[in-house]
Chain A
């Protein structure tokens, strides 16, 4: 059977809307409605916020196949691309980074910034990250109890790390954390567009400064070695800086806070994690938490460049495709009892960092930060507990990246 979007574009209105709201009683699993779609077919048509249609891919095998298919484009400026919200296209016309480009432009720009993110370079940062984690815990313990783990720990850690790596002054953290969060919010296009303008101006100023007074950081290296000799346009470096700054702290921060919440809700798993001295078990726990929580909740956005036959369907050239990595990571054909958090399982095949040539550039950094956090925080504070009703927590339903705005904890 083949079925295409155009067959129903005339408006039977039968396609379910996407994204789908999460159940308030089930804060960790993908929305029940998404699982229902997954149970009917590997991919099916959905309706987006602007009334346009898209193929939503929810099963692991098909998602991986499509994510690695060169006929699937990430070009946000291409007609048919499924924009995540109002204002997305307008923002893309002003500034695009390689995450929303295709090869060869994507490969050229990505390769400029891969060196600091290798396994070896990231491992070399581990002692410094351990020190930061210990300092933040010391400060938190010396302060009032209860407190907000997001503000005191989960957000400052990745923010400090990415600031050092890029060469962004951490003193400005309140400023760029606020605007980064606004940029990822789906509900306020005006605010997101304003945040883009403010952050672009800020980072462009920073790049200008690095050109004149370079220091020992990634933006200085790229400014002096790429922008100064004319190999890279200054606006492209600003776009890269924006991508790395926003991605570098919003994602890991949400994994720290939401991961802590998930562990506090699974005390047996938390006890086992706290008891182990084995780095491989901690690393395995990180992979399982990445899989289980899959915080990127609005799917990876793509558009087909050619007709693609898959799972008995035909995705037509020009049609929108959304790769629901949260659903794929909870696909029972890929992971046994997918809704169960099991820190002992081998979850390394998860697609929480995406799949294909766009797979997360900072994944080794994220892994290392999470390994240090998950092996330190609950040991240093063995009595750590939630200081609020979990049902009443401010979950980030409105953001591209899921998490909690606040996590009140006590000890």
Chain B
């Protein structure tokens, strides 16, 4: 799985961090999401899919291999 985060779209809801803390974080200065791991391990895939599904700004896209 390849994860792409579009920071320009992010509205800092924090939904991705709640869903997959090991893959997403937020910048301290404005809460914009940060991608920690663009090819997360299989064990995190469900959480990452959930993060992409609940992102209100459609800022996370996934390419499943």
Contact = CB atoms under 8 A, between A and B. Distances in A.
Do A and B bind?
yes
B61 to A, nearest CB: 13
Chain A contact patch, size range: 20 to 34
Given A68-B58, A359-B11, A118 B19 contact: no
Interface in A103-152: 107, 110-111, 114-115, 117-122
B28 interface: yes
A363 interface: yes
A17 B35 CA distance: 46
A359 B30 contact: no
A107 B10 CA distance: 9
A364 B57 contact: no
Choose among A360, A361, A364 the residue with the greatest number of B CB atoms under 10 Å from its CB. Answer: A364
Interface in B1-19: 11-15, 17-19
A349 interface: yes
Interface of B: 11-15, 17-19, 26, 28-32, 50, 53-54, 56-58
Choose among A117, A119, A349, A360 the residue with the greatest number of B CB atoms under 10 Å from its CB. Answer: A119
B53 A118 contact: no
A353 B29 CA distance: 23
Contact of A119 (B14, B29, B54): B14
Interface of A: 67-68, 107, 110-111, 114-115, 117-122, 348-349, 353-361, 363-364
A111 B31 CA distance: 8
Contacts of A348: 19, 50, 54
Contact of A359 (B13, B18, B50): B13
A218 to B, nearest CB: 13
A114 B28 contact: no
Contact of B28 (A107, A118, A357): A118
B56 A111 contact: no
A121 B26 CA distance: 10
Contacts, number: 63
Contacts of B32: 111, 114
A349 B54 CA distance: 6
B13 A363 contact: yes
A118 B26 contact: yes
Given A120-B28, A356-B57, 11 more contacts: A107-B11, A115-B31, A117-B12, A118-B26, A118-B28, A118-B31, A119-B26, A349-B54, A354-B56, A355-B56, A356-B56
24 contacts: A68-B56, A68-B57, A107-B11, A110-B12, A111-B32, A114-B11, A114-B32, A117-B31, A118-B12, A118-B14, A118-B31, A119-B14, A120-B26, A121-B28, A348-B19, A354-B56, A355-B56, A356-B56, A357-B56, A357-B57, A359-B11, A363-B14, A364-B14, A364-B18
A355 B26 CA distance: 19
Nearest to A107: B11
A117 B56 contact: no
A127 B50 CA distance: 28
A348 B18 CA distance: 10
A250 to B, nearest CB: 20
B29 A115 contact: yes
B45 to A, nearest CB: 16
B32 to A, nearest CB: 8
Nearest to A349: B54
Contacts of B50: 348
A114 to B, nearest CB: 4
B58 A119 contact: no
A361 B31 CA distance: 10
Contacts of A358: 11
